[in-house]
Each structure stands twice: as structure tokens, then as C-alpha cells.
């Protein structure tokens, strides 16, 4: 089937930013100006197209990334609007994995905020080319230069403005393009009409200065511009634009635009920049995949004639069609009604229907080709991160990394009838969101749900009640502690059982030590020499180790950051079995952990509090009483910002506390940063609670 959109005219972009920088408002303007929507949706009215979930409309925040397709001039844009709240960081992560470019939005007053740093690092990790849009230029205290300085300092980014505002704060009426030296003046409130004029004479010195900075920044990463610059040659508009495009695609430069999405100024110019500077699928190097049979790396070329290959990056449940798998096609074409191969699960799957998404509305299409983002219906076992391809040309794209949950709650149905419905609801939600985990605690008989933060679990519980109509009750949020060891130890594990008939014999020696790099988790290495344990029993030892690591010796929390090496052992010709070696591995790990000075670890949050000067003392005093470590203090106009590392256990319901301390005038954001040792006096209480709960159960 012939493709309707040339590949070089396609842009797969995401809008990413800190919470409240104006991502959804900007997305709504994009849909309006590209003719996709006829009227403007507003977040504060709950009418935003991209925020279609009830929970999003009520809270005025984005929870799930929404995809849509629109056209601008001669290009087609697949647009994904992502959440800014750190509890939904997985949505940003999986969107960046499949996008070719991103528009990062900054608040002209707030500048680079903690979560901006998080999304910027995520974009760095996936090497996503980006342009920056400094929004809210109409607000009191807006300052483009301050935002650019912060981007250079905090994000270590090579950035320069390609626009400067015309008018300041409430007098902001237009935008000057410093490359073409033209002023776009807006005529009406809807921003549809604007006239392009020459730059007023009084603004020329500022424009020339900004243009010089831009050329200097480009010269650092472009040899041709560097040569012309050193020889004082005139650099043409085309050369500057080509230089920006090349540097953006190579991830060496980020152009900065400005405007006010809410006041409808500057969004068309952002769309022009998407067209001019962000890459099409053809501009990027081919993505790499692994051949599952040979284990060799192979390149996947963006070409319709190449074998089909796509990545499932999101699973959603639709009340009418069931499960939707959002896919990004990297090569080839997929027709509805055909069979494909899930290389991650090694299973065949049938695509019954393909739909293009417009937020939660669907448009049925016959096929999708290279570069497309769509949703497939009918896939039974495909999860987030699975590679879809043809059975003849199997390939595995590197899967995504999902963050570990830091907070958990017990959940139980109110009635016997709701038991099954709750199980189904949790299973569907776990399918949709890989940062949400469900476990069953054998000891207490409770179902435990774990997530990225209080808001994350609140939304999940709200969806269980409303979407799935399950009456359930939940316990208090709990911190997801971890356990680890602090010294290196060698431990023997023996499982020998003789009870008439065939016996059981498993014997292994494990070396256990702390990981050099925190956050590595449990690793298992086999260094058995001369067949002390037959090869077929080694996976059983590993299984025993990983099984035992699910609950530690201090307070039953999962064990992390332990390097386990199998160094010796022995076997019996008749009595050895997989079960015996699994038990031996489990016994060795449990015993070794007990002897290696185990400690409890707790999640530490990176927190930023923005507080009026007069409440600074109370807030710092309160934070100190919560075991916070103040990292830095800064001034932002008449407000102070406090950056601190604080244990999650100390900040449940912090919003209420901060409100009462500051008469509701302060705000804060926080995100998981790292795990650290729990102070001994607190660890003793947690362990005592664990043992007393255990003795109550067994009495």
C-alpha cells in the first residue's frame, strides 16, 4: 500500500515539562491552529481534549500521555502530551523511548524546576533532539534571560534564543525572530491573526546582540559556521537555519523560543520550529536491535520496504474495544487482520484492527507504515516494551527501564463478590502501568499495591472505584523499605533430606557482597570450576537466591544491591534434584544475609519548597525536624527556594502541613532520588513491628 505522507514530512514529537509549565495548554493551541479542533479547550475548565480522563479534568493535571495526529503546512505531526507530575514519570519515559523529538516547555517565571531536570535527563538518556519553549511570557516576573542562564547552569545545555519578546509582562504583544529580524505582532485574542513587520529601530541593538550569541553558540558545534564567523563573513538566514537543524538533530544544541500559550501567542512559531529543526524518522540514525537467535546487534532502517518492526510502548484499556496496544512502527508496514510475531514473548499475535488515536477518540485505518504511531487491537499477550516483528525477521529492540515503586498500601474488597472484580481490575491496571505493582503478602494475607507516590496510588484507587466499580478499602500508605548487607561473606547452603525412598541432596557455596554501584539490585554470577555442580542445577540455585531475596531477615522487606557469586558446591548422582539446589541456594542466601550485618534502606526524596521570605524559618525548622538535609537555598524574586533531601517516611501528607505553616502560600514538588540507610533507632522500631506482627500471627 502506498504511503500518503512522505517520511521526511513526518514529525513524531512529545511535549514534556515540569508540572504546571503549560504542556496541555500548548497542546490544545497546537490542535486549534492545525485545524484539528474548532474551539480552544482549557485545562482550568476541564475542557482540554488531551486531558480526557475524569480524574484529569477534576484535578486539572495530566495523568496519562495522550496521542494525536495533526498537520501543519506541509508536515504531519504525531503529538504526545505527557504528564508533568513525577508520580507519572513512566508516561514520560515510555513516550521519549518512541519519539524522534521533543518540545520542552519552561515557565518564564519559574525557570528550570526540579522536574524539568528529571525530564531533561530522561530526554538525554534516550538522546532525543529537542527545542525549548519558554511559556508564560505575559506573567509578572517573566524573564527569558534568567531561564536561559538556568538552562546552561542546571541542565548543562548548549542553548541560545532564536526569538526575543516584544513588550514585557502584561505588555507582551509580539515575538521577534532574531534569525530573520522580523517582528510578529498579534492582532486579536485568539492569536490566529498576526502581522509580520520589520523590527522597530529601538529593539535592533538587542536583536543584533542576541543574534551574535546564537551564531557563537552554533559556531561551537558547526565547523562551517565557525570558519565564516572567524573570517567575519556574513552568515545567511539559510545557513543559520541549516546549522540549527543539523546541531539539534545531532543533540548538540537547543534553540529557545518564547511566547504565551494561554494568551495564544507564539504557538504557530513553535510549529514552524518543529517543522524546521526537529528530525523526521529519516534524519535519525537507524535504531539498534538484537537478533534473538544469534545475539548480534542489527540495525533497523526506517524504510517501508524493510521487514515490519514496531515497539509496543503503552497498553490501555478501552471500554468498547478492550485492550489497545500503542505501537511505534520503526520499519515496514502492518495491515489490519494479519499475524505478527512478539519477539519478546516468542509468540504469534493477530492484529484484528488498527486505530489512529485522537486523545481517547479512535479512527480506524487499514494499515500503518514506518514512523507511524497508532494503536493495535487484538493483541492478547503483548505488554509494554515488547517488540513486534515478522516471524521470518525476528529482532528485539532494547526494552525500557521502569522505576521501582517507593510507596505501598494494602487493598481489600469490601464484599466477597468484589474479590474477583478487584483481581481483574488490578491485573488490567498493572498491564497498563509498569510502575504500578501488585503483590500478595503470604504472611499477612493482604494484597499490596505499590506505586511512585501518594497521588499515583490515589488515582489508581479512584479508577478502581469508578472505572471498574469495585468497592474496596485501603490501608494507610506505607514506605517501601529495602534491606541489604554491609560486608562480604561466604556462606554454605545444604539441603539434605532422607525420608525413605529417594532422598534430596543440594549443596552450594555462595559469596555475597554489597554492590559497588547502589541501585544495581541483585546480581548472580556463576564461577563454578570443574563441574562441582552440574550445569543443569545452576539455574535452580539462582532461582533459590532470587526467591529468598524477596523478603529479608530484618523486617521482611525485599533485599537489594547484593552481588551473589556461586563459587563451589557438590552433588549426589542419585539424590540431587533442581528442588534440592533451589532450597540450598535459598538457605545459603538467608543465612548469609543474617551474618553480613544487614541494614534497612529507605527511599530519600529530592524536594524543592518555594516559600515566601517571611515563612522561611518555620519551613526550614520543620524540615530539619523531619530528618531533612538542606542541599541549597536560592532567591527567586520575592520567594525563597529550599532544595532538600528528605526521607519519604517523614513527608506523608506534607501538603497539609506546609499549607498550615505558610497560610497556603508555599508550594513544593518532590521525586524519588536514592535509597539510604535508616537510622538505627528507627530501624529497630520497624524490625520490632515486624517481629511482633509475626508473633501475633503465630500465637
Residue 543 has pLDDT above 80, yes or no: yes
- Do the Cβ atoms of 352 and 378 come closer than 8 Å? yes
Return the exposure string of 645-663: e unless at least 16 CB atoms fall within 10 Å of the residue's CB, then b.
Answer: bbbbbebeebeeebeebbe
Q: Give me the mean pLDDT over the 421-441 stretch.
A: 82
Q: What does the alpha-carbon distance between residue 463 and residue 18 come to, in Å, rounded to a whole number?
A: 24
Q: What does the alpha-carbon distance between residue 92 and residue 123 come to, in Å, rounded to a whole number?
A: 9
- Do the Cβ atoms of 241 and 179 come closer than 8 Å? yes
Q: Determine the pLDDT at residue 65.
A: 54
Residue 62 has pLDDT above 70, yes or no: no
User: Phi and psi of 464, rounded to 5°?
Assistant: -60, -45
In angstroms, what CA-CA distances link 299 with 296, 395, 509, 630?
A: 10, 9, 42, 47
In terms of phi and psi (left: phi > 0; alpha: psi -120 to 50; beta: otherwise), the region of 278 is: beta
Beta-bridge mates of residue 674 = 604
Q: Give me the mean pLDDT over the 485-495 stretch.
A: 92
Whole-number percent of the chain with pLDDT over 90 = 19
Q: Determine the pLDDT at residue 111.
A: 84
Q: Determine the pLDDT at residue 43.
A: 45
Beta-bridge mates of residue 163 = 177
Residue 660 has pLDDT above 90, yes or no: no
Q: Determine the pLDDT at residue 622.
A: 92
Residue 484 pLDDT level (bands cut at 50, 70, 90): very high
Number of Cβ atoms within 10 Å of the Cβ of 289: 23
Q: Determine the pLDDT at residue 47.
A: 43
DSSP character string of 387-416: EEE-SSS--EEPPPP-PPP-EEEEEEESST
Whole-number percent of the chain with pLDDT over 70 = 88
CB neighbour list of residue 517: distance below 8 Å, 6 or more residues apart: none
Residue 20 has pLDDT above 80, yes or no: no
Q: Determine the pLDDT at residue 49.
A: 45
Residue 64 pLDDT level (bands cut at 50, 70, 90): low
Largest CA distance in the chain: 101
Angle at the Cα of 318 (from 312 to 321), degrees rounded to 5?
90
Which of 445 and 137 is assigned the larger pLDDT? 137
Q: Determine the pLDDT at residue 23.
A: 67
Beta-bridge mates of residue 429 = none
Q: Of 551, 543, 553, 549, nearest to 562 (Cα)?
A: 549
Residue 554 pLDDT level (bands cut at 50, 70, 90): confident
- Segment 347-392, tens digit of pLDDT: 888 888 888 877 556 788 888 888 888 888 888 888 888 888 888 8
- Segment 74-133, tens digit of pLDDT: 888 888 767 655 556 666 777 778 888 999 989 888 888 767 777 887 788 888 999 999
Number of Cβ atoms within 10 Å of the Cβ of 6: 12
Q: What does the alpha-carbon distance between residue 212 and residue 215 come to, in Å, rounded to a whole number?
A: 5
Q: What does the alpha-carbon distance between residue 537 and residue 547 come to, in Å, rounded to a whole number?
A: 15
Q: Give me the mean pLDDT over the 251-274 stretch.
A: 88
User: Phi and psi of 547, rounded to 5°?
Assistant: -65, -45
Residue entry with cell 474548532 = 38
Instruction: Dihedral sign for Cα 527, 533, 536, 537, please.
Output: negative
Residue 523 pLDDT level (bands cut at 50, 70, 90): very high
Q: What does the alpha-carbon distance between residue 407 and residue 506 come to, in Å, rounded to a whole number?
A: 37
- Do the Cβ atoms of 163 and 148 come closer than 8 Å? no
Q: What does the alpha-carbon distance between residue 316 and residue 18 come to, in Å, rounded to a whole number?
A: 24
Residue 1 pLDDT level (bands cut at 50, 70, 90): very low
- Best-predicted range by mean pLDDT (12-16, 84-88, 294-298, 686-690): 12-16
Number of Cβ atoms within 10 Å of the Cβ of 383: 17
HSE of 498 in the Cβ direction (CA atoms, 13 Å)? 2
- Do the Cβ atoms of 173 and 161 come closer than 8 Å? no
- Segment 309-357, tens digit of pLDDT: 998 888 877 767 778 888 889 888 888 888 898 888 888 888 888 888 7
Q: Determine the pLDDT at residue 273.
A: 92
Q: Determine the pLDDT at residue 86.
A: 53
Residue 16 pLDDT level (bands cut at 50, 70, 90): confident
CB neighbour list of residue 40: distance below 8 Å, 6 or more residues apart: 28, 29, 32, 190, 264
DSSP 652: T
Which of 295 and 627 is assigned the larger pLDDT? 627
Q: Give me the mean pLDDT over the 639-656 stretch.
A: 85
User: Phi and psi of 454, rounded to 5°?
Assistant: -60, -45
Q: Determine the pLDDT at residue 442.
A: 65
Q: Residues 258, 259, 260, 261: what is their CA dihedral angle, to the nearest 10 degrees? A: -90
Q: What value does the mean pLDDT of the chain take? A: 82
Q: Determine the pLDDT at residue 540.
A: 94
- Do the Cβ atoms of 613 and 659 come closer than 8 Å? no
Residue 678 has pLDDT above 70, yes or no: yes
Residue 184 pLDDT level (bands cut at 50, 70, 90): confident
Q: What does the alpha-carbon distance between residue 114 and residue 93 come to, in Å, rounded to a whole number?
A: 16
For strands 254-258 and 159-161, give the pairing: parallel
CB neighbour list of residue 71: distance below 8 Å, 6 or more residues apart: 34, 35, 77
Set of cell numbers at residue 101: 523529538
- Best-predicted range by mean pLDDT (261-265, 278-282, 317-321, 648-652): 278-282
Q: What does the alpha-carbon distance between residue 633 and residue 643 come to, in Å, rounded to a whole number?
A: 6
Least confident among 61-70, 124-133, 314-323, 577-586: 61-70
Q: Determine the pLDDT at residue 55.
A: 52
For strands 339-342 and 347-350, give the pairing: antiparallel
Instruction: Dihedral sign for Cα 459, 461, 463, 466, please.
Output: negative
Amino acid at each position: 500500500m502506498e504511503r500518503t505522507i512522505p517520511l521526511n514530512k513526518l514529525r513524531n514529537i512529545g511535549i514534556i515539562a515540569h508540572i504546571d509549565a503549560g504542556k496541555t495548554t500548548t497542546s490544545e493551541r497546537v490542535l486549534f491552529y492545525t485545524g484539528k479542533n474548532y474551539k480552544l479547550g482549557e485545562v482550568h475548565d476541564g475542557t482540554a481534549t488531551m486531558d480526557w480522563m475524569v480524574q484529569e479534568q477534576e484535578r486539572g493535571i495530566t495523568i496519562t500521555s495522550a496521542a494525536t495526529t495533526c498537520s501543519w503546512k506541509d508536515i504531519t505531526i504525531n503529538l504526545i502530551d505527557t504528564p508533568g507530575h513525577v508520580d507519572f514519570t513512566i508516561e514520560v519515559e515510555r513516550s521519549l523511548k518512541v519519539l524522534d523529538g521533543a518540545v520542552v516547555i519552561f515557565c518564564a517565571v519559574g525557570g528550570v524546576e526540579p522536574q524539568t531536570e528529571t525530564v531533561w535527563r530522561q530526554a538525554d538518556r534516550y538522546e532525543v533532539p529537542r527545542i525549548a519553549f519558554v511559556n508564560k511570557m505575559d506573567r509578572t516576573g517573566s524573564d527569558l534571560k534568567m531561564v536561559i542562564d538556568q538552562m546552561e547552569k542546571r541542565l548543562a545545555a548548549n542553548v541560545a534564543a532564536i526569538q526575543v519578546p516584544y513588550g514585557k509582562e502584561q505588555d507582551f504583544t509580539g515575538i521577534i525572530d532574531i534569525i530573520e529580524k522580523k517582528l510578529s505582532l498579534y492582532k486579536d485574542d485568539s492569536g490566529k491573526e498576526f502581522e509580520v513587520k520589520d523590527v522597530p529601530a529601538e529593539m535592533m541593538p538587542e536583536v543584533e546582540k542576541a543574534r551574535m550569541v546564537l551564531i557563537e553558540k552554533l559556531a561551537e558545534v558547526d565547523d562551517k559556521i565557525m570558519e565564516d564567523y572567524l573570517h567575519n563573513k556574513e552568515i545567511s538566514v539559510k545557513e543559520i537555519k541549516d546549522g540549527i537543524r543539523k546541531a539539534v538533530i545531532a543533540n548538540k544544541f537547543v534553540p529557545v523560543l518564547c511566547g504565551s500559550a494561554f494568551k495564544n501567542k507564539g504557538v504557530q512559531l513553535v510549529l514552524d520550529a518543529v517543522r524546521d529543526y526537529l528530525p523526521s524518522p529519516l534524519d535519525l540514525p537507524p535504531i539498534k536491535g538484537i537478533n534473538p537467535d544469534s545475539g548480534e546487534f542489527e540495525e533497523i532502517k526506517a524504510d517501508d520496504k524493510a521487514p515490519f518492526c514496531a515497539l509496543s510502548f503503552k497498553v490501555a484499556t478501552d471500554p468498547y474495544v478492550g485492550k489497545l496496544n500503542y505501537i511505534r512502527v520503526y520499519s515496514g508496514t502492518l495491515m489490519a487482520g494479519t499475524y505478527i510475531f512478539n519477539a519478546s514473548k516468542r509468540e504469534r499475535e493477530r492484529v484484528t484492527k488498527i486505530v489512529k488515536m485522537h486523545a481517547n477518540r479512535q479512527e480506524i485505518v487499514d494499515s500503518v507504515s514506518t514512523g507511524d504511531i497508532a494503536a493495535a487491537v487484538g493483541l492478547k499477550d503483548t505488554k509494554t516494551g515488547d517488540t513486534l516483528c515478522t516471524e521470518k525477521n525476528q529482532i528485539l529492540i532494547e526494552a525500557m527501564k521502569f522505576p521501582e515503586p517507593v510507596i505501598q498500601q494494602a487493598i481489600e474488597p469490601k464484599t466477597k463478590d468484589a474479590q474477583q472484580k478487584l483481581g481483574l481490575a488490578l491485573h488490567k491496571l498493572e498491564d497498563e502501568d509498569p510502575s504500578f505493582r501488585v503483590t500478595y503478602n503470604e504472611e499477612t494475607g493482604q494484597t499490596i499495591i505499590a506505586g511512585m507516590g501518594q497521588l499515583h496510588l490515589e488515582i489508581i484507587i479512584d479508577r478502581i472505584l469508578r472505572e471498574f466499580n469495585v468497592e474496596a478499602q485501603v490501608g494507610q500508605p506505607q514506605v517501601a523499605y529495602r534491606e541489604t548487607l554491609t560486608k562480604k561473606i561466604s556462606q554454605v547452603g545444604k539441603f539434605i533430606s532422607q525420608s525413605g525412598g529417594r532422598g534430596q541432596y543440594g549443596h552450594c557455596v555462595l559469596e555475597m557482597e554489597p554492590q559497588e554501584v547502589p541501585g544495581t539490585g541483585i546480581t548472580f554470577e556463576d564461577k563454578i570450576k570443574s563441574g562441582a555442580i552440574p550445569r543443569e542445577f545452576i539455574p535452580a540455585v539462582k532461582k533459590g537466591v532470587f526467591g529468598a531475596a524477596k523478603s529479608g531477615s530484618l523486617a521482611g522487606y525485599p533485599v537489594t544491591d547484593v552481588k551473589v557469586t556461586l563459587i563451589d558446591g557438590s552433588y549426589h548422582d542419585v539424590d540431587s534434584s533442581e528442588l534440592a539446589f533451589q532450597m540450598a541456594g535459598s538457605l545459603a542466601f538467608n543465612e548469609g544475609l543474617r551474618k553480613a550485618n544487614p541494614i534497612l534502606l529507605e527511599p530519600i526524596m529530592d524536594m524543592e519548597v518555594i516559600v515566601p521570605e517571611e515563612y522561611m524559618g518555620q519551613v526550614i525548622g520543620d524540615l530539619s525536624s523531619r530528618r531533612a538535609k538542606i542541599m541549597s537555598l536560592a532567591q527567586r524574586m520575592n520567594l525563597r527556594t529550599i532544595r532538600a533531601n528528605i526521607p519519604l517516611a517523614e513527608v506523608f501528607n506534607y501538603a497539609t502541613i506546609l499549607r498550615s505553616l505558610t497560610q497556603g502560600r508555599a508550594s513544593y514538588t518532590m521525586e524519588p532520588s536514592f535509597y539510604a540507610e535508616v537510622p538505627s533507632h528507627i530501624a529497630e522500631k520497624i524490625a520490632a513491628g515486624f517481629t511482633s506482627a509475626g508473633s501475633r500471627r503465630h500465637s
